[in-house]
Amino acid sequence: MELKDNEFRCYGCKGVFEKGWSDTEAMAEFNAAEYPMQPNEELIELCDDCHKHFLALMRNEGGVE
């Protein structure tokens, strides 16, 4: 399935979602966030649910509320 310009495939669940903001806005959020790592290759895209799960794992919470 080919993605439209306003769609992305989630790296986590592999679902296809409509982008809620531009790539520029997403990069600005990434750069402003205090992630403990720096990108070394292409960045991944996550849906909201997978992003929440990822953040919980980073915070050692072990899951999503």
pLDDT, residue 48, reads 93
**In the chain, what percentage of residues exceed pLDDT 90?**
34
Average pLDDT of the residues of the chain:
82
Q: Please determine, for residue 20, whether its predicted confidence score (pLDDT) is greater than 80.
A: yes
Q: Please determine, for residue 35, whether its predicted confidence score (pLDDT) is greater than 70.
A: no
More confident position, 15 or 40: 15
pTM: 0.70
Residues in the chain: 65
Phi-psi region of 64 (alpha: psi -120 to 50; beta: other; left: phi over 0): beta
